[in-house]
Chains A and B, each alone.
Chain A
Amino acid sequence: MSSTPVSDAQLIARAVVHDDRHAFGELVRRHQSAVRSTLRRLTGGNIAQADDLAQETFLLAYRNLKSFRQEAKFSTWLYRIAYNVFLADARKIKDLPLPDDAEGEPVADATAPSLSRQAALSVDLERAMLVLSEPERAAIVQCYHNDLSHEEAAQVLGCPVGTVKTHILRAKQKLKARLSAWSPQA
């Protein structure tokens, strides 16, 4: 017997109207990967911190589920909560420490075979992301990693669309300088 998958909206209604914790658990199960990996990117790969923030994100989402108006996707609403939780935590910590090797030389080897070249570029890009400011990194994460439009990213980040575009432009300039060894002209 095939069962129709329950939509996010139906699960939210169950959680709100009947205080159905199983329904909310299903929402957590569906979105935990995206939220946790987004927070891992924002925290510069700190898995423990990202998971703590992800728990806090879902607890806040549960408390405020009644205020979710379904004007945006549930995932976009979650990203916004996650980003606010991250910002609140970052204000406490102030400066995110860079890993020891973050300032090191790129591992780029432009002459290496294609597959390992792509892997090395991926590692370098990951490191280079750590030199971006929080808003710049958040804009890159939302637009490239979470594949949101500039408008959706602006909703998540709570700023105008123009600001998102500026953050992305500045982030790319920094990344370009940081990853100059990977440039085709290098």
Chain B
Amino acid sequence: MNTQDVDTADWLDAALEEAGREHRAAYVADDGFTARVVSRLPAAPTLPAWRRPVIVLLWLLAGAGAFVALPGAFDDAFRSSVALLVGRPLGLTDIALLLALFGGAAWTSLVYAARAD
């Protein structure tokens, strides 16, 4: 590289660096650009609104179907497990109280899930 090349390179480098400084200093105003991009973002995949009640209904139907098909099995399993836990046979009042508790818990869960949605 001769002296002339060096001089020219320095001069050109300085010009390019100055252009670079101008480029970085020049802010391009948004002017709605961000809003246009965000409006064109692909929609997030969402579950259809009817899916949750249909699933709950199907579970209820399945439970009712099993209860009808096996009338004694649920009662026996329930009474045995509670008797194991509390150490004594169950009366009607105990069953009613437990059902009320389970029902309350189920409704609370449903309401919480609905609010979270």
Question: Chain A: residues with CB nearer than 8 A to chain B?
Answer: 19, 21, 24-25, 28-29, 32-33, 36-37, 40-41, 51, 54-55, 58-59, 62-63, 118, 121-122, 125-126, 140, 144-147, 172, 175-176, 179, 182-185
* Chain B residues, CB < 8 A from A54: 33
**B residues adjacent to A (C-beta < 8 A):** 4, 7-9, 11-12, 15-20, 22-24, 26-30, 33-38, 40-42, 44
Contacting pair A184 B7 (CB below 8 A): yes
* Residue from B24, B34, B44 whose CB has the most chain A CB atoms within 10 Å: B34
Across chains A and B, the number of contacting residue pairs, with CB separation under 8 Å, is 91
Beta-carbon contact of A37 and B26 below 8 Å: yes
Min Cβ gap A52→B in Å is: 10
Taking a contact as CB atoms under 8 Å apart, the answer to whether A125 and B19 are in contact is yes
* Pairwise interchain contact B28-A55, C-beta atoms closer than 8 A: no
Question: Among the listed B11, B22, B42, which residue makes an inter-chain contact with A184, where contact means beta carbons less than 8 Å apart?
Answer: B11
B37 near A58 (CB under 8 angstroms)? yes
Chain B residues with Cβ below 8 Å from A36 are: 28, 33
Assess the B38–A25 pair: CB atoms within 8 A.
Answer: yes
Q: A125-B19, A147-B24 are in contact. Are A59 and B38 (CB under 8 A)?
A: no
Whether A32 pairs with B7 at a CB distance below 8 angstroms is: no
Q: Which residues of B contact A121 (CB under 8 A)?
A: 15
Q: Known A28-B38, A58-B37, A145-B23; judge A172-B4 contact (CB<8 A).
A: no
